[in-house]
Amino acid sequence: MAVQNSPADNPVRGIAIMCVSMFFFVAVDTLARELTQRLPVSQILWVRFLIFAAIVVAIVGPRTVRPKLKSRNPWLQLGRSLVLVAEIAVFVLSFRYLPVADVHAVAAAVPLIVTALAVPMLGERVGWRRWIAVGIGFFAVLAIVRPGFLDLDWYHLLPVAGALIWAFYQVLIRLTAHYDGQDTTLLWTVLAGAAFTSTFGWVDWVWPSPQTWLLLVAAGFLGTAAHYTLILALNAAPASLLQPFVYTTFPWAVLLGLVFFGEFPDTVTILGAAVLIAVGIYVMRREAKGKPA
């Protein structure tokens, strides 16, 4: 499952698979919104990681798991994996209280947060144009969240916290790429996540109904499909070409939220997401061209 540079890139195929991958990610979030109304977040995390780990081990090959787990920086891999568990937990909890599209509107700020974090953590240079883009993104997030003394509840800040953790996780992925390959990173992700969630996932266990079991298993398989198709997309086309299509998560979230929950974001949320997407694509294009300014 390692990602390698392909000598024969297929941009159309890569873009198509990327859009499908983003659909799978949003589908998992849609199921999470329903599951949080039925089960504790800890239980959802546990089952999801167990299924994810089982599928990945089967694909990679049980006999090759042990040698591929050897890392040049195991503490960094462990820390990164636990950060991912925290990120998923925060986002899953946010779906208990907020529409899927609203959460994804805030999550559109992640590329901008990564840009800001890359300066102190990776020593990357960021020019004034990209800093202005980050600032615009900050105000766009404020517009979406609309903080106020009368109607701001604690759960409105969950997507913001999730975006910060997700951005931090992506920076950690960049760091681990200096030490280990894709297979090693993927195995650490699922096995450390499964081991950690196994310490608490059973504490508040609620026995699921047959329908809820079906949703749990579907979430596990869709999550695996999302990550696997993402790898396929990156094998088919350059990452710099595919990154803007990450933003297809927002229209997918609007569509699935409307179909399954009758939810539609208001005008301010849509405009805020549009601004975030626009400045995010701008930042990605600057990074793809290797321009710090």
Residue ranges of domains in the chain: 11-288
**Predicted pLDDT of residue 239:** 67
Of 259, 271, 267, the C-alpha closest to 108 is 271
The whole-angstrom separation of Cα 197 and Cα 89 is 10
pLDDT > 50? residue 5 = no
pLDDT > 80? residue 28 = yes
The radius of gyration computed from the CA coordinates of the chain, to the nearest angstrom, equals 19
pLDDT > 90? residue 273 = no
Burial letters for 257-276: b for 16+ Cβ neighbours within 10 Å, e otherwise? beeeeebebeeebbebbebb
pTM of the model: 0.81
pLDDT > 70? residue 6 = no
The whole-angstrom separation of Cα 225 and Cα 179 is 26
Residue with tokens 């609620």: 206
